[in-house]
Amino acid sequence: MHIINAMFSSGLGGIEQSFLDYAVSMDKLGHKSTVIISPDSEIYTYFEEYPNIEVIFCKNNNQWDFVAKSNLHKILKKNKPDILIAHGNRAIRLLQKPSKHICPIVGVAHNYKLKQIDKCSAIFTITQDLKTIIIDKGFDSDKIYHIPNMIDLKNATTKNTFHKTPVIGTMGRFVNKKGFHVFIHALYLLHQNNIPFRAIIGGDGEDAEKLNNLALNYGIEHKIDFVGWINKKQKFFDEIDIFCLPSLHEPFGIVLLEAFSYAKPVISTNTEGPSEIATDNMDVVFVDPNSPEQIFHAIKKLLDDNNFAFTLGERGLQNVIKNYDKNVVAKKIEESLVDIINK
């Protein structure tokens, strides 16, 4: 098959990681894999490792850009893909008309902002919950496929010791819904209770100054390292003992899979995606969103019971090996694309 993946966001995050995984996994299965991205897309540099994947740039100003739609039609007509996968609302809107009479278009529902996705030939949903919601909106259930995000397990490791001063880590975009302000409050509670710790927070975004000031106001800035975007994931996970996902809303949570792949004990809010991926006290400790007290008690529980913490991490690793390894999910994508083309 010739498969084109398209995405027009410029930053880095979960959707961008999924987009990269789709393109790379199809290339490794022997399909012709092409991507269409914006000229300012930060994900571009990641494709330099994969010379077989052709990268096509298409400038666009918004999801209604008629010039971009015309250029996309020319790109599709020239490349003649067997199927097109659109990631994100802008890609879905821009590519629906240009793809008509050329190839089926699959819209990937990465979150709950479902705009125009019902006009696609088929839909991939990252969770069963999203699939149920779309079916309830009246979309043909035979055209909806549950395809979870995937993880590359080539660097999977296990470790059954904590640092002398335990290190608690988290990462993501610095926006309110990711709950990093709640995480920092929980760290303050550790400090108040004289529990030794260090923290590493990876990422960047609009709330960066606010989060730094919050740590300063709590008097724990010396205990927290804000390290910017994490490019070397293995180094980050080797440095931490416990991973925390404090999101107020989390449609999936690829970073949860990444933490599992390094067998890290994980504390997560019981939000949409994580509550479908993991099981409380089996491979994760769940807490309610926006509850620094619960995060504090969960961290203390793991620090007080190392055996439980390490068992949690080992079970998390087994979870991703069985359900989210890139080879397992890539085959699901391939089989679903063949099914859509044949229909």
Which tokens in the block code for residue 324? 């989210």
Cβ–Cβ < 8 Å for 317, 158:
yes
Question: What is the pLDDT at residue 112?
Answer: 82
Question: What is the pLDDT at residue 95?
Answer: 96
Which tokens in the block code for residue 190? 């550790």
| 3-class SS of residue 143 | helix
Cα-based angle 114, 117, 118 (whole degrees, multiple of 5): 110
The stretches in the chain having pLDDT less than 70 are 155-159
Count CB atoms within 10 A of the CB of residue 65: 18
User: Around 320, how many Cα atoms within 13 Å sit in the side-chain half-sphere?
Assistant: 31
The yes or no reply on domain 2-150+325-342 and CATH 3.30.70.360 is: no
pLDDT in tens, 15-30: 899 999 999 999 999 9
Pick the CATH number of 167-323 from 3.40.50.2000, 3.40.50.300, 2.40.30.170, 3.40.1710.10: 3.40.50.2000
List the chain domain ranges.
2-150+325-342, 167-323
Give the alpha-carbon dihedral of 14, 20, 21, 23, to 10 degrees.
150
Question: What is the pLDDT at residue 98?
Answer: 96
Question: What is the pLDDT at residue 156?
Answer: 63
Residue 245 to residue 261: CA distance in whole angstroms:
15
Q: Model pTM?
A: 0.81
Question: What is the pLDDT at residue 175?
Answer: 95
Residue 123 to residue 111: CA distance in whole angstroms:
12
DSSP strands (E only) in the chain: 2-7, 32-37, 54-57, 83-87, 105-109, 122-125, 144-146, 167-173, 198-204, 224-228, 242-245, 266-269, 285-287
